[in-house]
Structure 1
């Protein structure tokens, strides 16, 4: 059965004063410790007693003692208050220096090409920060799921998010393996894709993503068909390398395969430009030092690499 309860406004008011009086058994010594007048201490204790509904101290002209109610209140209030003070110190520490757990929601595809070197150097520079990468294709609610920030393609960054560029804009590349093209002629126009096996990507909402093109400055989307559907770009790219068909993937993902000769690029003239990859977080006013340190580290790395994104 659910219990009904309320917390009175100002329930902790006067507790610190009570603990000081109880420790010193003196209103005057408590006042000196707290930097207030004895009358202010006496008034605060009276208000606490009225709120509780019981006398906490026995006062004489010569001494101050605890009542039974005061003893019981002290036994429970002292450790609880000390725990609250300790909790405040821990929270204050996280609010004043880069420390604690930095949780980032990221697409799995970008971890090896973008985050691995960045995270390694960040952790070395900030030993009090632990970094957790939660790889998912879902566009999670960052605040509701307890993430400090997310990393997303620019077209998926919500308008109410603060966004910091991690990469410059890039194109979507259509690639296939040399083995695949040994059996078929490379497409010359987008209409030629009807004659090709096109590997597809299923979005987190369940829909199959259309292929995007830039046709003389006009954005065009085409539904393609093929033998394989993946839920992320690395899997689709791997299938393309194995010769299963053509894949449309972000240009940075295909770069290594193109350099190694495992992939061939086609339809370059129709490749659309994407905004790039961004670090995004909900509210600039609520940013913690650990996230600020990560953002500063990103910008520092970009500046040292001569990247124009440093002025984001």
Structure 2
């Protein structure tokens, strides 16, 4: 069964590295397991090169017959876990930094106290990944970026991106009144995980504006953007959550408030077609209870 589970992981990811990470084993151990399975079966299951992995016809046939069996087994074991009265096993969640921060502050501590038999593997990552391909049970991103074929559970309310700046910077510059006024200012630009530079997006009534702002400093982390703005390097545009402490202390102030509307916030999402394991169901329940008490 271990060898068949190893085969299924490599076949689904078509990558020994990704499959090994998902299973929590070394690549060499996974490779030896596949070689051993091929020896037992007397057929080659994968075509391997230094750059790619693909299924042979025999491998594709085995995967088609094996996947329903492994899914049934997962459900059977999950049912036993429920009959024990408490979820157990590993729960893997991929989240952006803002989502991971909220989960760690408000949901994760209570969840782990209630379900000590669950091992939570929370990965913080800026880029949007294929959670199925990368072996995650669920992901957390802004609702508007969640793939349409996923089930989404919204939490945490709406969010707002805000333009923030140090009061000292405004002492020598006029306060911008419209987004177009930013062209006359020094802005701290943001590099997205995709490598592209973020165009600041504003909206007011029926008007929507996206601006590639000027500036001589580009960063790729919201905490660093807030820090740079607080030192007077210019205007930054960040999720409100990241700037709250410095706004409260007075180290930062907001500009263009009426151009920064609320947008749909975070959502936890998972594949629609897959069996939802008991640890994930328990996590979703905690998320909904927390959200309902906000």
Is 2:201 the counterpart of 1:164? no
Q: Which residue of 1 aligns with 2:213?
A: 224
Q: Which residue of 1 aligns with 2:254?
A: 265
Matches for 1:1-312 after TM superposition, within 5 Å: 5=42, 93-94=80-81, 97-283=86-272, 285-305=274-294
Task: State the 1:214 CA deviation.
Answer: 0.7
Contact 1:148–1:281 (8 Å) recurs in 2: yes
Task: State the 1:111 CA deviation.
Answer: 3.1
Task: Choose 1 or 2 for highest CA Rg.
Answer: 1
1:202/1:87 CA distance change after superposition, 3 Å: closer
Task: State the 1:183 CA deviation.
Answer: 2.8
Contact 2:78–2:278 (8 Å) recurs in 1: no
The farther-off stretch of 116-125 and 291-300 is 116-125
Contact 1:95–1:288 (8 Å) recurs in 2: no
What is the TM-score of this pair, normalised by structure 2?
Answer: 0.70
Contact 2:99–2:141 (8 Å) recurs in 1: no
1:109/1:242 CA distance change after superposition, 3 Å: farther
Query: SS at 1:286's partner residue?
Result: coil
1:284/1:263 CA distance change after superposition, 3 Å: farther
Measure, in 2, the Cα distance between the counterparts of 1:258 and 1:284.
Answer: 44
Measure, in 2, the Cα distance between the counterparts of 1:88 and 1:158.
Answer: 25
The farther-off stretch of 91-100 and 268-277 is 91-100
Measure, in 2, the Cα distance between the counterparts of 1:279 and 1:208.
Answer: 26
Measure, in 1, the Cα distance between the counterparts of 2:258 and 2:74.
Answer: 59
Over the aligned positions, Cα root-mean-square deviation in angstroms equals 2.6
1:289/1:223 CA distance change after superposition, 3 Å: same
User: After superposition, what is the alpha-carbon deviation per residue over 1:38-97, rounded to whole angstroms, capped at 9, x for unaligned?
Assistant: xxxxxxxxxxxxxxxxxxxxxxxxxxxxxxxxxxxxxxxxxxxxxxxx999856545654
1:237/1:175 CA distance change after superposition, 3 Å: same
Task: State the 1:113 CA deviation.
Answer: 4.1
What 5-or-longer segments of structure 2 have no aligned partner?
A: 1-34, 44-72
Contact 2:75–2:277 (8 Å) recurs in 1: no
User: After superposition, what is the alpha-carbon deviation per residue over 1:228-285, rounded to whole angstroms, capped at 9, x for unaligned?
Assistant: 2122222212211222111111122222221121210000111133211111111265
What is the TM-score of this pair, normalised by structure 1?
Answer: 0.66
1:128/1:214 CA distance change after superposition, 3 Å: same
1:247/1:87 CA distance change after superposition, 3 Å: closer
Measure, in 2, the Cα distance between the counterparts of 1:270 and 1:228.
Answer: 23
Task: State the 1:130 CA deviation.
Answer: 1.6
1:95/1:258 CA distance change after superposition, 3 Å: same
Query: SS at 2:119's partner residue?
Result: strand
